[in-house]
Amino acid sequence: MLNEITKDAEVRMAKSVESLVDNFKKIRTGRAHPSILDSVQVSYYGSMVPLSQVANINVEDSRMLTLIPWEKKMVPEIEKAIMKSDLGINPNAAGDVIRVPMPALTEETRKGYIKQARSEAEAAKVAIRNIRRDANGSIKDLLKEKAISEDEERRGEDAVQKLTDKFVSEVDALLTQKESDLMEI
């Protein structure tokens, strides 16, 4: 019973960290990276699909992405989708190739992105702590039902706390890495 609760908590906490990693990908640094465009959806024959399914995305240099659509008629659709996204980038179409320059980050925008990264990290920590609370509640319910002893309850809560500490430190490490990426010129 306790093993199931701790395994479930571990899986859910890992998902919180994965979600944070995905959210960090949306916060652009000064360098060009194809994952910046992961959230962009393009209208393709009436349905919305990820940009990566309608075009090849390459890094031309550290400040430029190149998109080559599978179909030439998709160029205006892709341009429109990138402009509608809240990424703050403007695509330039030249024939059937779309170039997406990454503007240099000013000190002000860097600080704004760091603030956004910190709030995302804090949200992940809150999610992890909520999972801890749920797991500890389940353990206490088992104790009330007399399915486990008080010693087992203490061991279970200690195991859940160790998991919480592990994943919170992982979130802190990811945040530190993202902040250093953002401050790099």
Query: By percentage, how much of the chain surpasses pLDDT 90?
Result: 34
Mind giving me the DSSP string for 111-161? HHHHHHHHHHHHHHHHHHHHHHHHHHHHHHHHHHTTSS-HHHHHHHHHHHH
Q: In this structure, are 49 and 91 located in the same domain? A: yes
Read off the CATH number of the domain in which 157 is found: 1.10.132.20
Q: Which residue has the tokens 């804090």?
A: 122
Question: How many domains, the chain?
Answer: 2
- Tell me the C-alpha distance between 82 and 181, whole Å: 23
At residue 9, the pLDDT reads 92
- Residue after which a domain boundary falls, among 48, 72, 101: 101
Task: Please check whether residues 87 and 153 belong to one and the same domain.
Answer: no
Other residues' Cβ atoms within 10 Å of the Cβ of residue 61? 11
* Mean predicted confidence (pLDDT) in 120-128: 94
Q: Assign residue 39 the CATH number of its domain.
A: 3.30.1360.40
Same domain, 20 and 43: no
| 3-state DSSP assignment of residue 69 | strand
pTM, two decimal places: 0.74
- Structural domain range at position 77: 34-101
Write a three-state SS string for 91-104: CEEECCEEEEECCC
Q: Please check whether residues 169 and 124 belong to one and the same domain.
A: yes
Confidence category of residue 25, pLDDT binned at 50, 70, 90: confident
- Which of these three, 101, 119, 152, is where a domain ends? 101
Q: Which of 101, 123, 146 is the last residue of a domain?
A: 101
